[in-house]
Amino acid sequence: MKHASVSSVSIDRIMDGKRTKSPDLLAREEPLEIRLSSGKGSSRIQRAVSVTMRTPGHDFELAIGFLFSEGIIPNYSVVSGIRYCINKETGEEETNIIRVELDEVFELEWKSDRNFYTSSSCGVCGKASIEAIQTNSSCKRFDDDQLAFSAELIMSLPEKLRKEQAIFEHTGGLHAVALFDAKGELLIMREDVGRHNAMDKVIGAKLIQNKTEFSDCITLLSGRASFELIQKAVMAEFKVIAAIGAPSSLAVSLAESFNLSLVGFVKADRLNVYNDSSRIHS
């Protein structure tokens, strides 16, 4: 299988007491530097915003989703261009460096002390983190929708996701985030070695495609629901999150703060509801 998101290696496989050479596929993990260009005319400034370890593929979506979910850009309309940087010596694309050009009329509010965490740890101050999101003018509680999904529908989604995870099937090493509509039909799915990257790729796809119906869907996480995934879901207005794994305590607190429906340990015959918001019925 030849794919930009996987690498082939030779391994020693031991089975039934026998050792044999065998080919194996690994999920690729490479750094992606995101650069941002903003300003007017000759006074434009380029900044290195972030370096994240990711699985190559859907890199533009990842960059846009990251910039949006971190509150750096309000939407995709402020982006005038996005491309891989060019190596000045070879003239070839640097596929691990992306430059996002912002429209000259967009005034970027940049704080020099910005720092971005990309781990799945919740080792930050929960109260301060939630308050920071609550003060973001683009984030509002989800109190005015009429969404309703059956538990039976949600329990059917993990199997549908697994059938679509082509890279995971060959490597076993990737996280996935998928959006399903009210009928359980898959709308979009992205995989990555980083669960936060998979979420950003989905958000970026939503923004680039200028889709609006994604706010009325179920977001399925292939693993656990950590704080930063719920934070990004709130930014993207994903109101129902279902995770095959467990949520963290801070993820539940954030879901409650924004009236986001959060479900965990989703299996074919059971699930746990951590925050219902009257959207999930038996």
Query: Which residues are part of the catalytic machinery?
Result: 122
CA distance 84 to 87: 10
Sheet containing strand 175-180, edge to edge, reads 186-192, 175-180, 218-221, 240-243, 261-264, 272-275
- In the three-class reduction of DSSP (H, G, I as helix; E, B as strand; rest coil), residue 55 is classed as coil
Long-range contacts of 163-172 (CB under 8 A, 24+ apart): 164/189, 165/189, 165/191, 165/222, 167/3, 167/5, 167/6, 167/27, 167/55, 167/191, 168/222, 170/1, 170/6, 170/25, 171/6, 171/25, 171/26, 171/27
Relative to beta strand 240-243, strand 218-221 is parallel
What's the Rg (C-alpha) of the chain? 20
φ, ψ dihedrals at 15, nearest 5°: -145, 130
CA distance 171 to 55: 12
Relative to beta strand 240-243, strand 186-192 is unpaired
